[in-house]
Structure 1
Amino acid sequence: MPIDAAKALAAEPRSREIAWDHKDVQLYHLGIGAGRPATDPGELRYTLESRLHVLPAFATVAGSGSPGVISGLSMPGIEVDLARVLHGGQSLTLHRPIPVAGTATATGRIAAVYDKVKAAILVLRTEVTDADGPLWTGDAQIFVRGEGGWGGDRGPSTPLEPPAGDPDLTVERPTREDQALLYRLSGDWNPLHADPDFAKSAGFDRPILHGLCTYGMTLKAVVDTLLDGDVTRVCGYTTRFAGVVYPGETLRIRMWRQPGAVRVAVSAVREPDEAPVLTDTIVEHA
């Protein structure tokens, strides 16, 4: 069996040192569409080093892709075909605001392996700490088609209740035709997002946009609108990737303030067919 769940779960955590600076942060922000309009004061907070703050979703690429999908596939007990792999979901817990530049230790392990019969889901947990203590914890859910059916734990399967009523805010965010090429410079080199032949072998008409790119775009939309542009208010962010976006398409992002709670429910669909892109999405904030 390509996935040995017991071996993967028993493997020792792997630690590595990561580092980033303002250039990495700026490149990431540009990769998720920041800087339009280029002279907008709100956008300069993402692009100009003298005003820079860090969108918490940067954690998914800090130190060249931690937590990354491909890194999880090198864990003991896991041997799969990259063409069968999709990023199924992502969650982040922020323990402190992410500094513009820093060094830290990222420790990764397989926290769970779920048998969905026709697929397997790997949960790659990455905990990042620096000299001052914990910075963030991330869980990447890695969906591997055709690798289930060994009789293992099915895992959680109850979706969140959809938000009731009309959204408090709806915004549209266009993607660029070259956005995947720019975003991948932050560390996710999966050819699915750049190589047309590889994309076709994986069942797509052409290269698709990274799920984590839409993840970052969506969080930026929430921060820029409902959170008054204050990235430090974000405490947690979780989503399930429900569909693909092709570079050049437009996202429609809907947001619902949750009554009596410090969180925002979010959905993202692609235009014009309203196909779901992100579901079960929650931004927790201070």
Structure 2
Amino acid sequence: MKPAKVVPDLVRGFKIGGTQTQSWVERDIILYALGVGMSRDPMDTKELSFTYENAENFKVLPTFGATIGSIGAVFEGLVSCPGMPNFNPMMLLHGEQKLEFFKPFPQRQRVTMTSEIADIADKIKGALVTFSSDVKDESGSIICRNTSKMFIRGIGGFGDKGKLQDSLPNVPQRPPCKVASDVTTPNQAILYRLSGDTNPLHIDPNMAAMGGFDRPILHGLCSFGIAGKAVLKEFCDYDVTKFKSIAVRFTRHVFPGETLLTEMWKEGNKVIFAQKTQEREGKMTTQGYVELNEDPQPKI
């Protein structure tokens, strides 16, 4: 029988489903790149290197790593965890995401993943659950580490503030170094979901209504990919080896069709970014940073 409230000691450290496997090929890489808005201009040869398998320098967007694993596995872990109460899956929202890179993603790969619930914290109106997953190639070498934080509305009040105290850098109080504008398409979420996150909140109007939204919302990880793409273009000239890590906090939902403005500030070997929607009075939807593999540079 499920407990009436979260039991933190039974949740923290819970192993999810043993070792999982996943593989990808060029088609998956291209579908993901299109899902975050690559190659809107088909004559842009730099972006074509992410969407054309026969390009001279065909490569994988770093944020593709967020598609390794699935929201289904996360949900399965929450349901099977003995310390978690029953909850409405439409009350599950993506709170934060961090990706750490140890080597560039190959064009084709079969990987194994081991995942656990690393932490849980009471946020009064809900619970913030932290998942950690190591992704390894066939030789056993780690490719990337995924850390996801999911906010579950309605199950707070259990009194445990959590063990992990990660923090993101504050958004600088000065004009940004660069600003990227991405107009999402009305069917952006329908395309992005084909990369693995098939939560009906992003496609089914009835399910979106159950979650408190008047229409389906864009995946947080799609906004995450759009932000990563902006930093990759503006500060790395599309060199994927420059990414050491990327982290983001989702602060407000985005509707497909809205315009995302990604503001970026270079500070040392980090690019701090903040996204906002142009249509809804510029309210911030995400904030985060990319850590770069380069010598620290002065503030710009």
TM-score, structure 1 normalization:
0.93
Equivalent residue, structure 1, for 2:296? none
Structure 2 residue matching 1:47: 3-state secondary structure = coil
1:177 paired with 2:180, answer no
Q: 1:243 to 1:176 in 2, by over 3 A?
A: same
Give 1:34's match in structure 2, choosing from 14, 23, 38.
Answer: 38
Question: Greater CA deviation, 152-161 or 265-274?
Answer: 152-161
Shift of 1:5: 2.2
Structure 2 residue matching 1:128: 3-state secondary structure = strand
Equivalent residue, structure 2, for 1:244? 253
1:54 paired with 2:60, answer yes
Task: Check whether the contact 2:171–2:273 (CA below 8 A) recurs between aligned residues.
Answer: no
1:128-277 mapped onto 2 (5 Å cutoff):
128-130=135-137, 131=139, 133-154=141-162, 156=165, 160-258=169-267, 261-272=268-279, 273-277=281-285
Structure 2 residue matching 1:160: 3-state secondary structure = coil
Task: Check whether the contact 1:59–1:66 (CA below 8 A) recurs between aligned residues.
Answer: no
Task: Check whether the contact 1:2–1:80 (CA below 8 A) recurs between aligned residues.
Answer: no
Q: 1:71 to 1:219 in 2, by over 3 A?
A: farther
Structure 1 stretches of at least 4 aligned residues deviating more than 4 Å after TM superposition: 66-69
Structure 2 residue matching 1:180: 3-state secondary structure = helix
Shift of 1:275: 1.2
1:73 paired with 2:51, answer no
Give the AA of the match of 1:7.
Answer: L
TM-score, structure 2 normalization:
0.89
Give the AA of the match of 1:231.
Answer: V
Aligned length: 282
Shift of 1:157: 8.0
**CA distance in 2 between partners of 1:204 and 1:107 (Å):** 33
Q: 1:282 to 1:99 in 2, by over 3 A?
A: same
Structure 1 residue matching 2:12: 3-state secondary structure = helix
Shift of 1:100: 1.2
Q: Deviations over 1:256-284 (max 9, x none)?
A: 010xx2110000001121011112x0101
Task: Name structure 2 gaps, 5 residues minimum.
Answer: 294-300
Task: Check whether the contact 1:26–1:46 (CA below 8 A) recurs between aligned residues.
Answer: yes
Q: Deviations over 1:55-85 (max 9, x none)?
A: 111111135x379653543441334211111
Shift of 1:239: 0.7
Shift of 1:205: 1.1
Give 2:48's match in structure 1, choosing from 44, 47, 50.
Answer: 44
**CA distance in 1 between partners of 2:125 and 2:99 (Å):** 27
**CA distance in 2 between partners of 1:12 and 1:30 (Å):** 33
Give the AA of the match of 2:97.
Answer: Q
**CA distance in 2 between partners of 1:114 and 1:62 (Å):** 25
Structure 2 residue matching 1:36: 3-state secondary structure = coil
**CA distance in 1 between partners of 2:195 and 2:53 (Å):** 17
Task: Check whether the contact 1:60–1:68 (CA below 8 A) recurs between aligned residues.
Answer: no
Q: 1:71 to 1:251 in 2, by over 3 A?
A: farther
**CA distance in 2 between partners of 1:150 and 1:66 (Å):** 24
Structure 1 residue matching 2:30: 3-state secondary structure = helix
Task: Name structure 1 gaps, 5 residues minimum.
Answer: none
Task: Check whether the contact 2:168–2:289 (CA below 8 A) recurs between aligned residues.
Answer: no
Equivalent residue, structure 2, for 1:25? 29
Shift of 1:39: 2.5
Structure 2 residue matching 1:215: 3-state secondary structure = helix
Shift of 1:247: 0.5
